[in-house]
Structure 1
Amino acid sequence: MLKKRLEGSHGKWVEELHGGLWDYRTTPKTATGEAPYLLVYGSEAIVPTKMHVRTTVSRSTSQEENNELMALSIDLLDEKREAARLRNWSYQQDVARTYNKNVRTRTFQQGDWVLRRAEKTTGKLTPGWEGPYKVIEVRRAGAYRL
């Protein structure tokens, strides 16, 4: 989102950065289901232009009632953070499950010929694999002596 916002500004990215960060901090994230601003401060962010425009909600709430609601919101902040942490953990488990679904485990036996991933490649045209090598010894799951 930040990249998209700053993409069209070319040399004026400094002026656009504050608005882009505001967007990022006040938009609910997929992993937690909450906006980072809410998890830090305990309440939804109010856009500065809405502070000057009186709505039916802001007219019907007195200062004392607003203070009570803010105190209650702060009291419930730990519970919101814990719920967001659990949603994030669940989201990470789903992502890992989806990723690992496509992983194919391969085992090699003594005497098999294999390729080894090259440790250093100097450019995009250099091969990414070295070999072939012969498996001399199977040490443990996934570890071989070539």
Structure 2
Amino acid sequence: MTTSKVATGQTPYSLVFGTETVIPTEVVILTARYLLQDQENNDRILTQDLDTIDELRDLAKIHIVAHQQRITKAYNKNIKVRRFQLGDLVLRKIFQNTKDPIAGKLAPK
């Protein structure tokens, strides 16, 4: 069994193949999950999973958008809006690509 991701709420395997994984250890060491499956029931469930994979992917997309909105809200909650008027003094940083190459070491920062 793989771990579901926070952003999608699903496992990557289930988004690609439409079903959950069965790791080889579950087949070797018989678990209740593996023992309770019969071939006919398994085929029916796989067919049903293939029919609903598009819905599963759509739900994952909705979950991603909601997750991104929560992250954006948490990031932007400490932002302070500053409005500048014409004539306000501001500190401008001069970067290497805009610096005058002949200004020397006493050039403004």
Q: TM-score, normalised by structure 1?
A: 0.60
- Structure 1 residue matching 2:91: 3-state secondary structure: strand
Which residue in 2 is equivalent to 1:79? 55
Per-residue CA deviation, residues 84-132 of structure 1 (Å, 9 max, x unaligned), is: 11011011011111112111111111221101244449xxxxxxxx76x
Instruction: Supply the distance in 1 between the matched residues of 2:10 and 2:82 (Cα, whole angstroms).
Output: 40
1:59 Cα deviation from its structure 2 partner: 2.7
- Structure 2 residue matching 1:44: 3-state secondary structure: coil
Q: What is the CA RMSD across the aligned residues, in angstroms?
A: 2.2
Instruction: Supply the distance in 2 between the matched residues of 1:93 and 1:117 (Cα, whole angstroms).
Output: 32
In the alignment, structure 2 segments of 5+ residues that lack a partner are 98-107
Matched, 1:68 2:68: no
Aligned residues: 99
Question: 1:105-120 maps to which residues of 2 (within 5 A)?
Answer: 105-120=81-96
Q: Percent identity, aligned pairs only?
A: 37
> Letter of the aligned partner of 2:65 in structure 1?
W
Deviating 4+ runs (over 6 angstroms): none
Which residue in 2 is equivalent to 1:90? 66
Matched, 1:58 2:49: no
Q: RCO higher in 1 or 2 (8 Å CA, sep ≥ 6)?
A: 2
Instruction: Supply the distance in 1 between the matched residues of 2:96 and 2:21 (Cα, whole angstroms).
Output: 48
> Letter of the aligned partner of 1:95 in structure 2?
I
Q: TM-score, normalised by structure 2?
A: 0.77
Which is richer in strand?
1
In the alignment, structure 1 segments of 5+ residues that lack a partner are 1-22, 122-129, 132-146
Instruction: Supply the distance in 1 between the matched residues of 2:49 and 2:33 (Cα, whole angstroms).
Output: 17
> Letter of the aligned partner of 1:114 in structure 2?
V
1:54 Cα deviation from its structure 2 partner: 2.2
